[in-house]
Every structure is written in C-alpha cells, then in structure tokens.
Amino acid sequence: MGRIDLVKLRKRAGMSQRELADRLQVRPSFLSAIENGRSRMPEEKLEKIKEIFELNSLEEYMIEEATETLIPQHSHVPPHTHTNEQSDSITQFLNHFHDLAHQRDKTTSAPDADTIARIDFLMKRNDRLSERVDDLRDEVDKLREENLRLKELLVKNGIAY
C-alpha cells in the first residue's frame, strides 16, 4: 500500500503542518516524518483525516511507493520516537529495539533490573530529544515567517533583494 500525500491535502485546505498535527493529535515532528515518507500513518488516524478534510475516500491522495526501506511493514514505532531527517539511524535503532522488546514479551522470563533501567533511560532521553526537535521546528517556522515578512517589506518599499 502507498502513503497519503498529506502535503497536497494540507495545501489544498490552506492548512499548516502544525495545524494538522494539532487536529490529528500527533506531534508536528511525527507528521513531518509521515509527510516525508519516513513513517507510516497510523491506521486509526485515517478516518480522522477523512473527517478533517471532509473526504469519503483518500484514493485521490495516495502515493504508490516502490520500496520502503527505513520502516518495515511489521514494525511499529510510537509517535514520540520520530524526529528529523538526521534520525534515520535512530529510527532504525528504535525499530530494532521495539522488535526485540516484543520478542522478549513472547518469552516467559522477566527483564532484569539493568534492562528496565536502561529502557527507562532511553525512553526519557528519546522524549527529551523529541521535545528538542519540536522546539527547533517551532524556531524554524518562526524564522521562515520572519523571512517572508521581511521580503514582503522589501517588495513593498521597492527594494530588490
């Protein structure tokens, strides 16, 4: 199955990435990862997308993908683990870690205290990194808005740039 062209949907509706992320109740960094093909849209959000954009079907907005290498179909990475383009190795690591955790769940042995402590540490670190990415994305958005505002002022005053 392909993925949904959320950028096309958003642009037609005049909606920002942050606005759509808020309406879908996901982090903007996760929505960005979905739009860039680094993550998959959770199935439970598809109906919400149809509702937001008042669509009966998403067929018109489907993009077929030849191969998907970063995120295998069987894996699931929670939204808080998705960051920016530089995180491909982090995402792959988290996918692998997630798969290992589920393999461990299938066994009867309980994780030892060191494993639990390491998992807690990694989860907290990942949350901090995700928050930092969101902050940086906010800062970039503000800088883009300021850049646009300054360009408009230059044009308004007849100054070439």
Q: What is the pTM of this model?
A: 0.42
Domain-by-domain residue ranges, the chain?
A: 3-156
CA distance 124 to 118: 10
Whether the predicted pLDDT of 81 surpasses 70: no
Q: How much is the average pLDDT of 14-39?
A: 88
Number of Cβ within 10 Å of residue 118's Cβ equals 12
- Which pLDDT tens digit goes with each residue over 107-161? 556 778 888 888 888 888 888 888 888 889 889 989 999 999 999 999 999 998 8
CA distance 3 to 160: 41
